[in-house]
Amino acid sequence: MTAPALPSYSSGTSTVPLLGDTIGADLDRTAARVGDHEALVECATGRRWTYPQLVADVDACALGLHSLGLQKGDRVGIWAPNCAEWVLVQYGTAKLGVVLVNINPAYRTHELSYVLRQAGISVLVAAPSFKTSDYRAMVAEVRADCPDLREVAFLGDPEWDALMDRGRSADRGLLAERAGQLTADDPINIQYTSGTTGFPKGATLTHHNLLNNGFFVGEGCGYTEADRVCIPVPYYHCFGMGMGNLGCTSHGATMVIPAPGFDPALTLQAVQDERCTSLYGVPTMFIAELALPDFASYDLSSLRTGIMAGSPCPVEVMKRVVSEMGMQEVTICYGMTETSPVSTQTGADDDLDRRTSTVGRVHPHLEVKVVDPATGLTVPRGVTGEFCTRGYSVMLGYWEQPEKTAEVLDAARWMHTGDLAVMDEAGYLNIVGRIKDMVIRGGENVYPREVEEFLHTHPDVVDAQVIGVPDERYGEELMAWVRLREGAEPLTAEALRTWCAGKLAHYKVPRYVKVVTEFPMTVTGKVRKVEMRQVSVEELGLQGAAAVRNA
């Protein structure tokens, strides 16, 4: 008689305990331990901070924000590309016990206004501009519609400098008093994920969520204070602020910001100049770095490890990262914003095949299971089902949206990811698709429903269906199938992109457009997006991109 197949369930055992600190207390503890070790480097300006200098500026930022009348639990927004001030605000708000709300630098007025109102942001810290975005003008445009917004401080302006100066001269005893009122389970961060109902949802995360996830990701990479981590991924994601910053500060390692936004050449230059031992990126970033004409001229010999995550990781790209970038201990992480974000990670001691073709095994102190989406029952190993995870990493919920929270968090606190996965006999996982039709473009989650609802506001569009189609650079790209009103002019992809510009974040703007008179439908009247994708792959000649193997 053969034994029944093991269930697709695994729990992460560990001899290393969870951290019980707040983020601020952990930073102070690290600074006391490592002394004058370098904490932060901003390559664009050449500015550098040792750990004591970083703590001093974080405290000044916290006290400066305190001078604006912020109470524990108030929301402070940050709308800026990667810069040193982002780090100061991240840790300063944590010390103050106010909730930092990350605002995507690509957002336009429509999305900015929604987030400011939905989170009840009272103070906004923003860059004056970034790339083609004039943040000052956009804030001015929406401010009248955001009654909670009391103060806006633009980085580099006199108001920001005055805030930091007030903080430097303030009584440090105020921070000690505030620290005594904080617990590790307090909400400290809201990160917006694209919404299936047309608007994003604010995943609400605690000190305990973020600090421990960053710490255990760093443990997975073997970090010590000897490590220097190059962080080209955006801070507004958990990847940058959590796995990046908190992964560093919980180990006394050095954070290196190569540029405000991703630039492949500046990233490799930073690795070379700062002798970085670890490099982060979504697959798109590594592909761009490897494609540089002068790639071979960069000295990457300091690299030891790093993380590829954020969207499906092509197996061949992982192999090139190991062989051509010297990242022998590079790991793949899998997760989602709602889980702080990492649930699984490959290990440096995994064989090359597992390290390049799976998303690894369950993280320490977490549980994962693969269930039948219809019944909720755990499936046997080797069978496809929905990936679920439970443990310290799971968010408190979506900010002020209990109904939406209940859709993904069940009564036993399992987070239902919506991703389809397979667990093998040894507990390694593969992500093989998604239950719903979310598109991941270059690490950005895009829910077609949000884009469809927006396209419906186009004067010539009667109906729109948005799908993801394979793309070798971004993993997926957006394609819109549209039905036009009678007598409308033909709609080109270029014309639609022009119409979307300035209203939607660039990564939500469809690259391809197909005008149709009807959509393929099921007998029950549901649109067959699977069929739409198959037709689109054929018509656009994307078979090569569709054949790329991913972990």
Whether omega for the bond prior to residue 341 falls within 30 degrees of 0, making it cis, is yes
Give the number of C-alpha atoms closer than 13 A to the C-alpha of residue 99, restricted to the C-beta side: 21
Task: Work out the percent of the chain whose per-residue pLDDT is above 90.
Answer: 82
Share of the chain above pLDDT 70, in %: 98
401-431, pLDDT tens digit by residue?
999 999 999 999 999 999 889 999 999 999 8
Segment among 164-178, 300-314, 366-380 with least mean pLDDT: 300-314
Same structural domain, 385 and 470: no
- 145 and 248 assigned to the same domain: yes
Distance, in Å, from the CA atom of 267 to the CA atom of 281, rounded to the nearest integer, reads: 10
Token readout for 530 is 């699977």
Question: 409 and 302: one domain?
Answer: yes
Q: What is the mean pLDDT of residues 480-491?
A: 91
The answer on 523 and 375 residing in a single domain is no
392 DSSP β-pair partners: none
What domain range is 148 assigned to? Answer: 23-420
What is the 3-class SS of 303-361, one letter each residue?
Answer: CCEEEECCCCCEHHHHHHHHHHCCCCCCEEEEECHHHCCEEEECCCCCCHHHHHHCCCE
Same domain for 328 and 228?
A: yes
What CATH number does the domain containing 518 carry?
3.30.300.30
- For residues 204 and 191, give the distance between their C-alpha atoms in angstroms, rounded to a whole number: 7
Cα–Cα distance, 85 to 103 (Å, whole number): 15
Whether residue 529 is contained in a domain is answered as yes
For 72-86, 374-388, 433-447, which range has the lowest pLDDT when averaged over its residues? Answer: 433-447
pLDDT of residue 483 exceeding 50, the answer is: yes
Residues 358 and 455 in one domain: no
Domain count within the chain: 2
Residue 8 lies in a domain: no
Q: What does the block give as tokens for 496? A: 């639609």
pLDDT tens for residues 215-240?
Answer: 999 999 999 999 999 999 999 999 99
Residue 532: count of CB within 10 angstroms of its CB: 21
Is residue 274 a contact partner of residue 230, using CB atoms and an 8 Å limit?
yes
Res 197 pLDDT > 60: no
- Tell me whether residue 243 is in a domain: yes
Strands 429-434 and 415-423: antiparallel
User: Does any domain span residue 113?
Assistant: yes
357 and 460 inside one domain: no
Q: Does 339 fall in a domain? A: yes
Q: Is residue 326 part of a domain?
A: yes
pLDDT at site 453: 79
pLDDT of residue 193 exceeding 60, the answer is yes
Q: Report whether 473 contacts 440 (CB < 8 A).
A: no
Output the pTM of the full model: 0.86
More confident residue, 476 or 433: 476
CA 330 to mean position of chain CA atoms: 19
Looking at the chain, how many residues does it have? 551
> Which has the closest alpha carbon to 262: 230, 297, 302, 293?
230
**Tokens 């473009």 label which residue?**
441
Which residues lie below 8 Å from residue 32, measured CB to CB, with a gap of 6+?
Answer: none
Domain final position from 420, 452, 474: 420
| Token digits of residue 517 | 């008179």
Asked whether residue 231 falls in the same domain as residue 322, the answer is yes
Q: State pLDDT tens for residues 16-34.
A: 999 999 999 999 999 999 9
Mean pLDDT value across residues 83-88: 98
Shared-domain flag, residues 278 and 395: yes
Whether residue 405 sits in one domain with residue 444: no
16, part of any domain? no
C-alpha–C-alpha distance, residues 231 and 244, integer Å = 6
pLDDT of residue 523: 55
pLDDT computed for residue 417 by the predictor: 95
Residue with tokens 């490799």: 268
- Identify the CATH number of the domain in which residue 380 sits: 3.40.50.12780
For residues 416 and 445, membership in a common domain is answered with no
- Say how many C-beta atoms besides its own lie within 10 A of residue 105's C-beta: 22
Summarize pLDDT for 364-414 with one digit per residue, the tens: 999 999 999 889 999 999 998 999 999 999 999 999 999 999 999 999 999
Distance CA 2, CA 431 (A): 28
Residue at which a domain ends, from 386, 420, 454: 420
Q: What average pLDDT does the chain have?
A: 94
pLDDT digits (tens, 9 = 90+) for 336-349: 999 999 999 999 89
Q: Which residues partner with 112 through β-bridges?
A: none
The answer to the question of residue 10 being in a domain is no
Q: Last residue of some domain: 420, 455, 474? A: 420
Confidence band for 551, pLDDT divided at 50, 70 and 90: confident
Do 497 and 350 fall within a single domain? no
**How far apart are alpha carbons 438 and 381 in whole angstroms?**
25
Confidence of residue 101 (pLDDT cuts 50, 70, 90): very high
